[in-house]
A and B are shown apart, each in its own frame.
Chain A
Amino acid sequence: MASLTPTIPIKLPETGRGGGGQPPVYHGGGDGGHGDGYPDYGQRLRRARLGLAIALAPIFMFFISITSAYIVRQGLPTFDDKTNSNIRDWIPVQLPLALLLLNTGLLAASSITAEFARRQITRQAALAPVRSIPGVSLGDERGFPWLYVTVLLGGGFLVGQWMAWQELAARGFYIATSASSSFYYLLTAAHGVHLAGGVLVLTYAAIVSLLHKPVEGRRIVVDVTAWYWHFMFLLWIGIFGLLWFMR
C-alpha cells in the first residue's frame, strides 16, 4: 500500500475542548435576525468582540510604526548646509500642557461613562426577555443616559485637541515647521480620526435606541465600541506620554 498512515484515525467529533470544539448550531449568526425565530445574540456578541480584538492589532501596528519613526528621527543627525556638519535638529514642541491634561481628563471620564453605558445596556439586554412578558414592569426603562454623555465627552476631547492645534499654531509650530511638530500633528490627527470613528458609531447606537429595535443588537454595538473606546484611551495615554516624556 502506498499509504503512509497505517490506520484510519476515526475520532468522534471533539467538542468543548479548546480551539477545536464548536457549538453545534448556527442560529443565524452574522448580520441579522433571519434565524429560526430567535437570533443567537450571544454568539454574535462573541464574534464581534473577537473581530474587534483582531482589528485592534493593525491599529496598534500603525501607531507603533509611527512611534518608532518618532524615536529614530529624534536621535538622527542631520546635515546642516550652513555649518557643513552633522547636527541634531530636533526642536522640542512647546506643548499646551494644561489643555492636553484637560483633554486627557475628558477622555478618561468618557472611558468611564462608556463602561457605564456598556454595563447598562448589558443589563437591559439581559432583562429584555423578562420585559417582553405582558404585565411585567421593571420600572424606569431608560436610566441615566451614559451613552449620550460619552458622545458629548468624546466630542469635547476632539474639540479640545483642535484647540491644542490652534494653540500650537499660535506658538509658531505648524505641521512642516520641524520634525517634532510634524509628528505631533500626525499622531494627534491619526488618534483623533480613530476616536471620531468611535463617536460616529456611538452616535449611531444612540439614534437607533430611539427606533425601538431589539436592545440585544444595539448592545453588541455599544459593547464593542466601549472596548474600542478603552483602547483609544490607553492609546492616547501612550501618545501623550511619548509626546511629553520624549519631547
Chain B
Amino acid sequence: MATSATIHSHAAPQGFIRKYVFSLDHKVIGIQYYFLALIAVFVGMFLSLLMRIHLIWPTAVLPLIGEIKPETYLSLLTMHGTIMVFFVLTTAPQSGFGNYFLPIQIGAPDMAFPVLNMLSFWTTFVAFIVMIAAFFVTGGAPLHGWTGYAPLSALTNSGPGEQLGADLWITSIAIFCIASLMGALNFITTTLDLRAKGMTMMRMPLTCWAWFITAILGLLAFGVLLSAGILLLLDRNLGTSFYVPLVVVNGQVMGHKGGSPLLWQHLFWFFGHPEVYIAILPSMGVASQLLSTFSRKPIFGYKAMVYAIMAIGILGFVVWGHHMFMSGMSPYSAFAFSIMTMAIGVPSAIKTFNWLGTLHKGKIRFYTPMLFAIGFVSLFVSGGLSGPFLAQPVLDIPLHDTYFVVGHFHLIMGVASIFGIFGATYYWIPKMFGRMMSEGLGKLHFWITFVGTYAIFMPMHYLGMAGHPRRYSQLTEVAYLHNLIPVQTFMTYAAFITIAAQFIFLINLFWSMFKGPKASDNPWEATTLEWTTATPPPHDNFGGHTPVVYHGPYEYSVPGVAKDYVMQTDPAPVTAH
C-alpha cells in the first residue's frame, strides 16, 4: 500500500543534463527558478544604481557606460521595473520556493505535471534572455516604463528605445505569460489533487495557501496580459489601431486612427493589480510560517488568515481602476474603485493583527529568518499605510506622478516581498542544500538592509508631498527641485550601502552552500512536512513512503506535550506527564 517503494512518478534521473539542466524534479526546477531570480535581481539592482547615480550626478561620465542621457534614464527605469516585477518578484517567491516546497509541504512526490513544470522554467528562461537582448539592439531598451503605456509603446518612432527594443520587451512579456500560465496550472492541480492522506485544505501550511491563491490569480491575470501584448504587437507591426488614436509624431501624421490608449491601461491593470498580489502573497505566506515557527506559537487565527488571503485575491481583481484616476475616469467609477481599494485594507489589517497576535507573548527566537519575517511585517505596515491615501482620487491626483507612489510601491510590493524572499532563503537553504547559513553574516545583512531600505524609500514620501515628479532624469535645472537634491543625495548614499550589503548575502549564500555547518533534518524545530524528511530531500521527497498527516501546521507549545512542537505527521505526541 502506502509503503510502496516506487511511488514516484518518474525514476531518478541519470546524467548531468537530465539531473541538473532539463530536470523533471520539482526541487531542481525550484532551485533553477531561484538562481534565475538571483541573477535578475542583481541586474535590476545594478540598473537602479545607475539611476541613483544619475539623479545626483547627472553629468557624470561612468566607466564603460558613458554619460546617461535622459532617454537612457527612461530605459533604465523601464528595464529595472520590468525585470524586478516579472523576473524577481513573480519568479522567486512563487515559482522558486513554491516549486520546491509546495509538493513537499502537502506530502506529494512531485508536481502534478513534471514535464510542464520543466517547460515552464525554460520558457521563463527564454523570456529573460529576450528581455535582456533588448539592451543590445539598435536604439537600446524601451523607455515606456514597466507599464508600457500606449501610444508611446505602440508606435515604433516615438523614441530611440521604441524600435526593436520595445518589440523584444513585449515578446518577452508574452513568453513570460505563457510560462506563468503553465506554472499556475501545475500549482493548482498539485494542490487540489496531490495532497497526502490527512492533509485537508485547512491543514495546509499558510505558505501553501498563499501559493495556491497566487496561482489562481496568475491563471486569471496572465491570459489578459497576453491578449493585451498581442494587441500591442499588432498595433506596432501590422498597422492596426487598437490603442493608437489619430496622433502626430515629430510633425508627421501617423496612419493610426480611432484607437484608445485607455484600452491598454484597462487590460494592463486588470493584470497589473493582481500582479501586485502575485508578488506579495507568497511572502505573506512565508512570513506567517516564520513568525509562528520562531515565536513557538500557533499562528493567531489560522482560518482568518486563509479567508484573508482569499479576500485579498478576490478584491485584487476589482480595483485595477485605482491606477487610472489620473487617466480620466467617470467620478462614479472612480468612487467605486476607491471604495473597493480601501476594502482591501480590511483583510490586510486582519493579517497584520494576526501576525502581531502571533508574536505577542511568544518565546521568540531571533534567528535571521525571523528577523526578516518581522522586517516584512514592518515594511508591509509602512508601505501599506500610504495605500488608503492613494486609494482616494482627490489625494491620488496630486500624488500620483510624484515620488510618493514610488515610495509606496517599493516598500509594500518591492522590498516587503524581497524580505519574504530573504526570510525564505535563510529558513529553507538548510533544507535545500543541507548546510546552515551563517547567523552572524545573516544578521549583519538584515540590519543594513532593513535600515538601508527605510533610508532609501521613506524620504520618497516627503519628496512626493513636496511635489517632486517621478520619472524625471535631471533635477538640477528646476528651481524648486534644486532644494530637494540633498534628500536625493542621502537616498543615493543609502542605496550604495544597501547594495553593498547584498554582497554579504551573496557571500553567505555561496559560502554556506558548500562550506556551512551541516544542517540536521529539522534545525528550526518546525512542524511542517518538509522537516520530516531527510536533508536535502531524496528524489521522491519522502524516501519511498507517503506521509500521513494528523495535525494542523502550527502546533507549537501545545499544553501537555513534552516537546514544544508537534510534527504534522506525529500520530500521538509524547505527553509531559
Residue positions of A touching B, CB distance < 8 A: 1-15, 19-22, 24-32, 34-36, 46-47, 50-51, 54-55, 57-63, 65-66, 69, 72-73, 76, 78-79, 81, 89, 175-176, 179, 182, 186, 190
Contacts and interface: CB of A to CB of B under 8 A. Distances in A.
Contacts of B43: none
Interface in B1-45: 1-2, 4-11, 24
A30 B223 CA distance: 26
Interface of B: 1-2, 4-11, 24, 109-110, 112-115, 181, 184-185, 188-189, 192-203, 219-224, 226-228, 230-231, 234, 238-242, 245-246, 255, 257-260, 263, 267, 270, 296-298, 300, 361-363, 546, 548-552, 555-561, 566, 571-573
Contacts of B24: 31
A35 B10 CA distance: 9
Contacts of B555: 5, 8
A25 B1 contact: yes
**Main secondary structure on chain A at its contact with chain B?**
loop
A70 to B, nearest CB: 10
A24 B203 CA distance: 17
Contacts of B223: 57-62, 65
Nearest to A29: B9
A89 B241 CA distance: 12
B154 to A, nearest CB: 13
Contacts of B200: 14, 19-21
Given A10-B572, A175-B239, A179-B258, A57 B224 contact: no
12 contacts: A13-B198, A13-B550, A25-B546, A26-B9, A51-B189, A54-B189, A58-B223, A66-B231, A73-B263, A78-B257, A179-B241, A182-B242
B549 A34 contact: no
A100 to B, nearest CB: 21
A8 B566 contact: yes
B363 A31 contact: no
Given A14-B198, A51-B185, A59-B223, A30 B10 contact: yes
A8 B362 contact: no
A200 B151 CA distance: 37
Contacts of B296: 2
Enumerate the 7 nearest inter-chain pairs by beta-carbon distance, A residue then B residue, closest first.
A30-B9, A20-B200, A13-B198, A58-B223, A176-B239, A78-B258, A61-B223
B199 A22 contact: yes
A176 B238 contact: yes
B558 A66 contact: no
Contacts of A81: 246
Given A61-B223, A179-B258, 8 more contacts: A3-B297, A24-B546, A31-B9, A51-B112, A51-B113, A62-B223, A78-B258, A79-B246
Given A14-B198, A55-B185, A25 B4 contact: yes
Contact of A73 (B220, B260, B270): B260
Contact of A32 (B9, B240, B550): B9
Contact of A8 (B8, B109, B240, B558): B558
Contacts of A1: 557, 559
A77 B5 CA distance: 67
Contacts of B181: 55, 58
A153 to B, nearest CB: 27
Contacts of B298: 3-5
B551 A8 contact: yes
Contacts of A20: 195, 198-203
B260 A72 contact: yes
B232 to A, nearest CB: 12
Most buried by A among B227, B297, B555, B560: B227
B9 A2 contact: no
B7 A62 contact: no
B549 A13 contact: yes
A25 B228 contact: no
A51 to B, nearest CB: 5
Contacts of A26: 4, 7, 9, 109, 546
